[in-house]
Each structure stands twice: as C-alpha cells, then as structure tokens.
Structure 1
Amino acid sequence: MACDFFFPQPGGVECHIYQLSTKLIDRGHKVVIITHAYQGRTGVRYLTNGLKVYHVPFFVIYRESTMPTVFSFFPIFRNIVIREQIQIVHGHASLSSFCHEAILHARTMGLRTVFTDHSLFGFADAGSILTNKLLKFILSDVDHVICVSHTCKENTVLRASLDPLMVSVIPNAVVAENFRPRAYTPRITDRLSGGSQEVQASPELLGPDDTITIVVISRLFYNKGTDLLIAAIPRILASHPNVRFIIAGSGPKAIDLEQMLERNVLQDKVEMLGPVRHEEVRDVMIRGHIYLHPSLTEAFGTVIVEAASCGLYVVCTRVGGIPEVLPQHMTTFAKPEEDDLVMATGKAIAALRSNKVRTDRFHDQVKMMYSWRDVAQRTERVYNGICGDIRPEEFYGYYPGQGLDASGDRVRSFALIDRLKRYYGCGVWAGKLFCLCVVIDFLLYIFLEMWFPRVNIDIARSWPKKVEQKSENDGLNNSSKGSRSHLAS
C-alpha cells in the first residue's frame, strides 16, 4: 500500500488503508505500507497483527502531500520492494505523490499495480485540469482501478479516459462495534413463550421541548461545506431555540466559524471541540441526535455511515456518491445551498420530535450493510484477476466472441515499447513528456540493478501469519482493538 495519507493523521483514506490492510493480513497475505514521515514517526513501525509501515523522510508541501520528485523516490522504493518481496503495489488517492510515483516505478520493475480513487474532481479549474492530466499519465499503465462509489467510477473514467471494465466499485466500510449507540442493547431471543421472537429495548423518545443536539465532525475546508455551515447555523438556531451544535475538526475555515459565533453571540449554543482522534469520534457522536454533513463534494462519506451506526439521523447534501451510501429512511437530503440545508435540517428536527424515525435500529442495519471483511474479499478478487488467477472473461465481464479476446489491451504488458505506446496517446505534448519520464525511469532502474545488485539487499523476515478469525464479530473486535492499539502507540 502506497499513499501519503496514513495514521497518525485522521481521515477516511487513512482508516481505509489501515482496515483493509489488517483484513488482508487476516486472510493470509503480507501487507506493507509506504508513507512519508510524520512528526515523531520516522523509519519502520510495526502495528497490530504484524502490519509494517515504512515512514520515508520526504519533504511535505501541502496538506500532508509530499513534493513530487518523480525519480528520487525510486532507490528507496526499489529497496523496500526487494526486501519485502512485494508482488502487487496498491496506490491510494489522486493527490498522493507517493501513490503515483510508486505505481510508475512498480510498472518499471515488472510488478502488478492497482489504484484506488477516494475523491471527486472537476474538469474546468486549473487545479483539476493538472490533476486529471497527472492521473491520466499514471493510469495509462495501471492494471486495475478501484473506486469507492459508482459516481466516483464515472468521474475517474472520464478524467483518465479509462475502459470502464477496468474499474471496479468497492465501497468503504466501518467497524460497527466501534460505533455503538449510547443506549445500545443487542437483540435477544424471547424463549419464555416458546417462540423465537427478537426483543430490543424501547427507543428514547423526545418531547416537544427537549434539546436536540446536532453534531458536525469534519475537516474545516471549503470543499467540506464549511462556508455553507457558517451561513446555516444562525438561521437554524433562530428557528429552533432548543437546538445545540457540537462541531469537531480543524482547518483554515475554523477562524471564519469562530468569527461567526462571536458576531452572532452563539458561543453558548455551539460547542467547538477542535481536532479529535478517530477513537474519540464515537464519544462525540453519541452526544447528539442529528449528524449534519454539508459537504460540497464527496466520493463516499464514511463519516455518515459511522454517524448512522451511532444512532444519529443524518442530514447531508445530495452530492457525489453520498446518495449511494445509506438508505432513505436514515437520511434527509438537501441541495448544496443555504436555504435547502436549513429546510432539510428543520425537517429532520420535526421528524425526531414526532418520533417517526426509529434511530435505535440504525446500528444493526449498518452492521449488516458494511463489513471490512467483505471489502477485503472483493479487493482480493481484484488482485487475483490482475495476476491471472481468474480468467479474463470472468474477471472483466466479457467473452472472446463479443469482440475482445483474452490477450486484449486490458492485460497490461511490461514491455517498454508497449508502455511507451500507451503513454504516447496521452496528448500532443504531454504524451512525449510522459514517454521521456518512462524512459528515464527505465534507465535509472537498469543503473540501480547494475550498481546496487539485488543480492546485496537483505530479505526481511515475514511476520507469522495470523489464523483466520472464526466469526465476523471476532474479526471486528480484533480490528477495533488493533485500531486503538495503533492510535495509542
């Protein structure tokens, strides 16, 4: 796994990589994570279950992304790959320099590659145009692509001009055991009457004058809808006097949010917690009744699944892949506009006060919908597909008689001339630049093989493989313990 974004920084991508890696280890695979050095974390770290993390000391330029150097990462990457006997390189996130460089170098070394896209990008602004061109460069020679939602798949296929059959949709998941409601009691079987009826404690009912708490946990950036939140909070509090807000998170928009509170004198109704650790998210969520998610763009939105698992009614914007995440009875959708967000929040408050929504059932429903074990199984199938363990017509979903044969372009060749043909079609000028980068990368690889031969690199010992868990609950408990142990280290 190669990505700039990993623990101790909290976030959806970081949690995805950790949980997926631990589940793949449970399934008998060896997983190594390559990321940059964080404050206090440099070198090699071992996490729960033998998960090995290489913190490479590279210069960070913006939002924990390292400065792209294209070639300087190659010697270290080659050493790690040979030491750990890596067969597949799996990169994450479009804005990760380590991800893109690792995929480029892995193809030069003759390794299979997979890319997972966690975000949505536009097509018009300068930043998106440059990012899309970079993505097209890298994905022109990748074996397979994974997206976290169908909307994300459409976005990635258009941005990188990909064959849709080379892109799979595998959503995020949550460890439901780590996000239990405050008064959660598991369903029990009523055997007194000789039947098998399930019984659960009655939900907590809200009265017309009871205080309703709205929780917001997000990075305070523009794309997360912080400006929309700043505009909506005074109007929501003016219309509903018995409502309070809890806001957790940090970012450049935190100053604007604090200025709004001072300007409207709302410090007694809005509690700002600042940044919270991932293991503290559940403790914050169970203090509320509604989770508000005003994001302007989102490929999946793991936090809304965590909120629903904690028994919160979700109010979110209808953008990106969010409508695919939860069923309608758990959410109220709004347009990414101030008026519509205020109206949707008012509907959610009214629904809770009338006790029409059974939030006490959300946890069990989310637990049945999302599982990291299922994500790991589907990702493992992608690995088997690109390595040839699954027939191409079965993996890609076509038959030779339909115009595509098993030796088609989807099975990526490692030959340099074939790679140059794929890169050359990326643009009049960009194609030539990409071909030049690939040729230099290939020559650098030959130089490293000659001057730093593989026989001089010690092979690292593998951690003893863990036996597969017997039940889903046992696996979830182990994952939650691993997450807590890692974050505390």
Structure 2
Amino acid sequence: MKVLVLTNLFPTPWDPLRGAFNRQQFERLGRRHELHVLTAVDFRERLHGRRGDVQVPGLATDHFVFVCPPRLGRALHAACWLLSLLPQRGRRLRAAGYDCILASWAYPDAVAAGWLARLLGIPYVVKVHGSDLNVQATHALRRPQIAASLRNAAAVVAVSRALAGKAVALGADAARVHALYNGVDGTRFAPGDRTAARTRLGLEDGGGPLLLYVGNLKESKGCLDLLEAFAAMAATQPQARLVYVGEGACRGALLAHARTLGIEAQVRLAGAMPHEALPDWFRAADLLCLPSHNEGVPNVVLEAMACGTPVVATRVGGIPEVVPAHAGRLVPLGDRAALAEALAGATMQAWDHAAIADHARSFSWETNVDRLDAILQQAARRGAAAEALR
C-alpha cells in the first residue's frame, strides 16, 4: 500500500526527540508499505531554529508549517491546520495516489485529516494517544469536531482499552475501534547491571534509592506532585535521590521549589535525552515514577518494566491495564500523601525484576505492527470497494 501519515508526533529538525513511539512504529510499518510521514510543525517552533537532523530508514519524511492564532481560536485549529497544509503540499498530495491516511493525534490532526481524506476520496484511520481525547475532547467547541472525525473514520486505533472506550463514547463505531498497546524494542530495553549503568551515566552511589522521572516537565505529567511527594519521603530517607530526564515549562518551578523544600542537593534535572540513551537510566533507577494527571499508555512505563524496573504511577488512563501488582504500585490522581507512601514502600519492597521484565515482553512492536497493518489494509480495501461502487 501507499500510506500517508499525518501527525504532529514525529521527530523534526526543530524537535528531534519528539514522538519516539511513532518513529519506532512507523519505521517498522515502512518496511512493509510505502509510508510518507508528513509532520505539522508549529510556526512558533520554527522561530527557534533547527536543533538536529532527522533521518528514519525506509520512510519518506516531510513537514509543513502549521500557522494558527496564538492562544486564541483553539476551536479553529483544525481549519487552520488544513489551510496551512493545502497551499504548501496540496498539489503533491493530490498527485500521490495514496490508498489511505493514518492520522496520529485527534485534534487538530485527525479532524483536518478527515477533511483531507474526503477531498482525496480515500479512507482514513485515526490513532488516539491520551490527552487528545482525555483533555481536548472536553472542550465544547472541539468535542463535536473530534467526535465527527472518529465517527467518519474507517477505523480508530487507541493505545489502551480505556481510551478505546472514550472513542466509543464520542460516537465511534465500536466494531471499528481497536485497542492496540504500543510496543517495546526488546533488543534495546532489557535488564542490565545497575552499578555498570550508574557508572556509565556518572551517577555516584549515594547509599539510598534512586527515583527516576522520564517525560515532559509539565504540570499535567505530575512532575510537581512528584517533587512534593519525594520531599515527604526524603524526610525519612535522606540518602534518596530524584532525577528528572526531560525538558519543559516546569523546569524553573522544579528548581525553585526544590530549593524551598530544602532538597535541592537530592534532585537532579538531567535534561532531555535521546531515546537510545534511556535504557541505562531505567537500569540505574530503583523506581520509575510517573504521577500523570491523564494518560493513554506512556511508553516510558513499558520501557522501564522491560528493563526490570518497577513503576510507581497514578491510576489513570491505560496505566492500570499494563502495570500489574508485581510490577509496581498505583495511587489515586492528585493524592500526594498516597504517592509519598507508595514511593517509600516501593523502595523498601523486594521486587522480582526478572518477572517484571518478562511481563513487559508481551508488549511487542512486531505484534503491534501486524495488527495496525491489518487495520490499514482493511480500511484501504473498504475504501477501494466504495470507490468502485461510485
């Protein structure tokens, strides 16, 4: 098949680390079909200059500049998305002869992709990830647009059963909604020697547990909740350390609040890391901590478990579907006291790291891509049959 992928969740020269899960999935799908990935780049992001090169073997990649009203008019973003795309790439898209479109992210990407698919006369499949339904679809003017895009899609792929249920609640045909967990690269994410990993990372053995956060530093990911909970835990475990791997708007607030709490010496902000550097961070840590406010299924949870590292996270989205009791502890959203108690308890617990890693092996990219391939092929066949009837 010839498949057009439309998304904002893919590496670009302006954000080379973005959407590592999509890069892994699309690279594997590109070994089976001709895949063209067209990524939306916010015009404000372009102003900051290039930060690296992006080359993905087997994929034809391109981008267009998404121009939209800053701060205002979020309900118009899908229209702006399409009106940005068509003058820049419209002629090329009409001539390409695609069999179907895969839109990864519900708003504005999938909404605009649905309109484009109608213009091109081809089917489209929507992949939803988490806050695109958990947050975006709660807004009155965006919700009907998202709902329409899901109803009219040939299929909807959700990264968890919880998210699949939300798609159905928005009006998607349950028979065309598929829960499909992301995969883990088992050749890269696997158990290893903790001491050796810490040595490679330049982490001295502080004599206490090492807690790890990996993700965007933003409030909705729970990074500030984690800092408060860690401070409570550190009162009884003064040798404990907390490392944040990632960048984001909360970086300054984390540093300032760590100073206020008197734990600045125990907290390290390591910055963003390339995906291939993450395995050693997971192996070095005693726990991965991710107290997100909403989620689909975060890949860092799967990847940490693949390295045999237990997880402490919030009981939101699809996280309870993938973290069994023998692999971690889950706490209610927003309960910092419960989070602090879970962190302290988890650092004292004797974990079966081999069993955790064995559980994570069930999340396979090969299985994931097999199923996604079948979904796309079915959508293309239906689209071709409908076109023949017309």
**TM bin (shorter chain):** 0.7 to 0.9
**Shift of the alpha carbon at 1:332?**
1.0
2:193 partner SS = coil
Structure-1 residue corresponding to 2:341: 343
Matching of residues 204-219 of structure 1 within 5 Å: 210-219=207-216
Q: Which has the higher contact order (CA 8 A, sep 6+)?
A: 1
**Shift of the alpha carbon at 1:213?**
0.5
Matching of residues 305-344 of structure 1 within 5 Å: 305-336=302-333, 337-344=335-342
Structure-2 residue corresponding to 1:36: 40
Residues 125 and 183 of structure 1, relative CA distance in 2, 3 Å threshold? closer
**Shift of the alpha carbon at 1:242?**
2.8
Q: 2:29 aligns with which of 1, 10, 24?
A: 24
Instruction: String of CA shifts for 1:193-225, please: whole Å, max 9, x gaps.
Output: xxxxxxxxxxxxxxxx94211111121212111
Structure-2 residue corresponding to 1:201: none
Residues 411 and 165 of structure 1, relative CA distance in 2, 3 Å threshold? farther
Matching of residues 234-253 of structure 1 within 5 Å: 234-253=231-250
Instruction: String of CA shifts for 1:48-80, please: whole Å, max 9, x gaps.
Output: 4321111113337679x9954243423444433
Instruction: String of CA shifts for 1:317-345, please: whole Å, max 9, x gaps.
Output: 11111011133211111112111111111
- The residue identity in structure 1 corresponding to 2:317 is G
**Shift of the alpha carbon at 1:278?**
1.9
Q: 1:146 aligns with which of 149, 157, 168?
A: 157
Structure-1 residue corresponding to 2:8: 4
1:115 partner SS = strand
Structure-1 residue corresponding to 2:184: 174
**Shift of the alpha carbon at 1:93?**
0.8
Q: Distance in 2 between matches of 1:179 and 1:248?
A: 17
Q: Distance in 2 between matches of 1:412 and 1:147?
A: 25
2:57 aligned with 1:49? yes
Q: 1:276 aligns with which of 257, 273, 276?
A: 273
Residues 126 and 33 of structure 1, relative CA distance in 2, 3 Å threshold? closer
Structure-1 residue corresponding to 2:197: none
Q: Distance in 2 between matches of 1:140 and 1:87?
A: 20
- The residue identity in structure 1 corresponding to 2:105 is A
Q: 2:291 aligns with which of 263, 271, 294?
A: 294
Instruction: String of CA shifts for 1:30-57, please: whole Å, max 9, x gaps.
Output: 1010013454389xx9834321111113
CA contact (8 A) 1:121 1:155 kept: no
- The residue identity in structure 1 corresponding to 2:157 is I
- The residue identity in structure 1 corresponding to 2:270 is L
- The residue identity in structure 1 corresponding to 2:154 is D
CA contact (8 A) 1:120 1:152 kept: no
2:359 aligned with 1:359? no
Q: Distance in 1 between matches of 2:135 and 2:305?
A: 34
Q: TM-score, normalised by structure 2?
A: 0.82
Equivalent pairs counted in the alignment come to 360
2:375 aligned with 1:382? yes
Q: Distance in 1 between matches of 2:329 and 2:227?
A: 19
- The residue identity in structure 2 corresponding to 1:248 is V
Greater alpha carbon shift after TM alignment, 147-156 vs 14-23: 14-23
Q: Distance in 2 between matches of 1:248 and 1:358?
A: 25
Q: Distance in 2 between matches of 1:140 and 1:126?
A: 14
- The residue identity in structure 2 corresponding to 1:359 is H
Greater alpha carbon shift after TM alignment, 69-78 vs 330-339: 69-78
Instruction: String of CA shifts for 1:411-460, please: whole Å, max 9, x gaps.
Output: 99679xx9xxxxxxxxxxxxxxxxxxxxxxxxxxxxxxxxxxxxxxxxxx
- The residue identity in structure 1 corresponding to 2:336 is E
1:292 partner SS = strand
Q: TM-score, normalised by structure 1?
A: 0.67
**Uncovered stretches (5+) of structure 1, i.e. residues with no partner:** 185-208, 390-409, 419-489
Structure-2 residue corresponding to 1:79: 91
- The residue identity in structure 2 corresponding to 1:178 is R
Q: Distance in 1 between matches of 2:69 and 2:239?
A: 44
2:106 partner SS = coil
1:73 partner SS = helix
Q: Alignment RMSD, CA only?
A: 3.1
Instruction: String of CA shifts for 1:172-196, please: whole Å, max 9, x gaps.
Output: 1111222233329xxxxxxxxxxxx
1:215 partner SS = strand
CA contact (8 A) 1:292 1:314 kept: yes
**Which structure's CA Rg is the greater one?**
1
Q: Distance in 2 between matches of 1:260 and 1:111?
A: 52
What is the identity percentage for the equivalent residue pairs of Structure 1 and Structure 2? 22
Q: Distance in 1 between matches of 2:242 and 2:387?
A: 55
- The residue identity in structure 2 corresponding to 1:236 is M
Q: Distance in 1 between matches of 2:327 and 2:224?
A: 25
1:71 partner SS = helix
2:34 partner SS = coil
2:20 aligned with 1:15? yes
